[in-house]
Amino acid sequence: MSAEIDFYELLEVERTADDKVLKSAYRKLAMKFHPDKNPGCADSEAKFKQINEAYACLSDPQKRAAYDRYGHAAFQQGAGGAGGGFGGGGDFGDLGDIFESIFGGGFGGGRSQPRRGADLRYDMEITLEDAFHGKQAEIEVEISQKCDPCDGTGAQPGTSARRCNLCGGHGKVRAQQGFFMVERPCPNCHGRGEVIEKPCRQCRGEGRVDAEQKLEVQIPPGVDNGTRIRLAGKGEAGPFGAPAGDLYIFLHIKRHRVFERDGTTLLTRAPISFTTAALGGSIEIPGLDGARHAIDIPAGIQSGKQLRKRGAGMPVLQGRGQGDLVVEIQVETPTKLSARQKELLREFQGTETGEECPQSKGFFERIKDAWTDLTE
């Protein structure tokens, strides 16, 4: 023991701290001073060793009782009450759980499990009509799949992998580093615990091969931009027979020539003649459902006014009902008039009193009042 620093002070706990408080304090400090988080820092490494020395003592009831009674002297050569040396061969059963939760490693565990295959992404473009009605589509993607000749084992048909001699099939090897026993993936079998002596010729020992695959994708009605469809188990095959990942289909909807979309609402803009705007009337809008929706135009409608047709919009995804169709009116001023039309308009203009267009009348009256105020 190089420096006789009080163990309780090292772990920053009271002498009455219970096991839960001790473990929590140790986790916090071990993470802070771990050499992997402080590469090349000798002070952090030394502090880390002291913290582990303190926790190994105080987490053991017998050693803690001896330390509380005799202090560091309890573990010095020849001292009574310790029941064996502290410096070597200590019980590290609990350290495995702690380091696994903090650093992702494991102490004393079994061999590493084959990792699951990666999830994959596929971007699909569909029309707004497809999004309205839904559809069944077929896609073709190149994905790593389980090798058929070796059934994903990576070994030639008729042979099998053997247990790794270096790690004894555990997938991990241990090495002493100062005060600690460190476990690492076996460099011979790379954590599998098995070695393939005769690799499969098709997959070269990987257990999976890249191949084109045709998949059916069911697109439900009401999907929108960014809707994600998951095909479970259709992603990349895991190595050596491990489970496959998932394939995620991301939908992108093409721009429509008539409609814009906002959730379940369909929006379109309809130009009408100024006579229809003045006298009122009706127009028809063909919907994505194949029906022709009649839109009544009230007399005197203005540009920008929105008219709503309930239930003629997009279907609710995985729900019931539909949104609305919204038609924004745009009054179009005629640009090509016949002589007769011009004559009729001039006659109409001669009958105007200003009451026909109250907004225009009100605007110019406000302009007149403002001008009067400026000149007074």
DSSP string, 280-334: -EEEEEE-TTS-EEEEEE-TT--TT-EEEETT-SPBPTTSSSB--EEEEEEEEPP
The structure's pTM equals: 0.58
| Rounded Cα–Cα distance for residues 316 and 221 (Å) | 8
User: Are the C-beta atoms of 53 and 179 separated by less than 8 Å?
Assistant: yes
Q: How confident is the model at residue 85 (pLDDT cuts 50, 70, 90)?
A: very low
| Domain end point (choices 234, 253, 272) | 253
Whether residue 177 is contained in a domain is answered as no
Name the strand (E) or helix (H) holding 349: helix 339-351
Residues 247 and 266 in one domain: no
Angle at which helix 42-58 crosses helix 61-70, to 10 degrees, equals 100
Of 107 and 266, the one with more pLDDT: 266
Whether residue 143 is contained in a domain is answered as yes
* CB-facing half-sphere around the CA of 258: CA atoms within 13 A: 12
* Residue 25 CB burial class (10 angstroms; 0-12, 13-18, ≥19): buried
Whether residue 112 is contained in a domain is answered as no
The answer, yes or no, to whether residue 104 has pLDDT greater than 60, is no
Pairing of strands 265-273, 260-262: antiparallel
Q: Kindly report, residue by residue over 139-159, the tens digit of the pLDDT.
A: 999 888 888 898 888 888 988
| Rounded Cα–Cα distance for residues 60 and 25 (Å) | 15
Whether residue 171 is contained in a domain is answered as no
pLDDT at 279: 94
Binding-site positions for Zn(2+) read 147, 150, 164, 167, 186, 189, 200, 203
| Rounded Cα–Cα distance for residues 48 and 29 (Å) | 8
Q: Which of 2-16, 52-66, 68-82 has the lowest mean pLDDT?
A: 68-82
| Domain end point (choices 59, 78, 103) | 103
Range of the domain at 130: 120-161+196-253
* Residue 111 CB burial class (10 angstroms; 0-12, 13-18, ≥19): buried
Residues 39 and 87 in one domain: yes
Of 85 and 196, the one with more pLDDT: 196
How many domains does the chain fold into? Answer: 4
Residues 224 and 318 in one domain: no
Specify the amino acid at residue 287: G
Residues 127 and 246 in one domain: yes
Residues 222 and 309 in one domain: no
| Domain end point (choices 207, 232, 253) | 253
Residues 44 and 21 in one domain: yes
Residues 80 and 134 in one domain: no
Q: Kindly report, residue by residue over 34-60, the tens digit of the pLDDT.
A: 877 888 888 888 888 888 888 888 888
Of 100 and 9, the one with more pLDDT: 9
CA distances from 314 to 125, 225, 229, 291, 309 (A): 18, 13, 19, 13, 12
Coil, strand or helix: which one is 343?
helix
| Rounded Cα–Cα distance for residues 249 and 371 (Å) | 64
Q: How confident is the model at residue 222 (pLDDT cuts 50, 70, 90)?
A: very high
Residues 61 and 142 in one domain: no
The CATH number linked to 279 is 2.60.260.20
| Rounded Cα–Cα distance for residues 121 and 198 (Å) | 34
Residues 240 and 283 in one domain: no
Residues 249 and 290 in one domain: no
Most confident residue range from 128-132, 139-143, 186-190: 128-132
What letter would DSSP give residue 315? B
The answer, yes or no, to whether residue 129 has pLDDT greater than 80, is yes
Whether residue 311 is contained in a domain is answered as yes
Q: Kindly report, residue by residue over 339-361, the tens digit of the pLDDT.
A: 999 999 999 989 988 787 777 76
Percent of the chain predicted with pLDDT > 90: 36
Residues 136 and 235 in one domain: yes
Whether residue 170 is contained in a domain is answered as no
Whether residue 215 is contained in a domain is answered as yes
Binding-site positions read 147, 150, 164, 167, 186, 189, 200, 203
Whether residue 111 is contained in a domain is answered as no
Residues 211 and 238 in one domain: yes
Average pLDDT, the chain: 82
Q: Return all residues near 11 (Cβ < 8 A) that are at least 6 apart.
A: 17, 22, 25, 26, 29, 51, 54, 55, 58
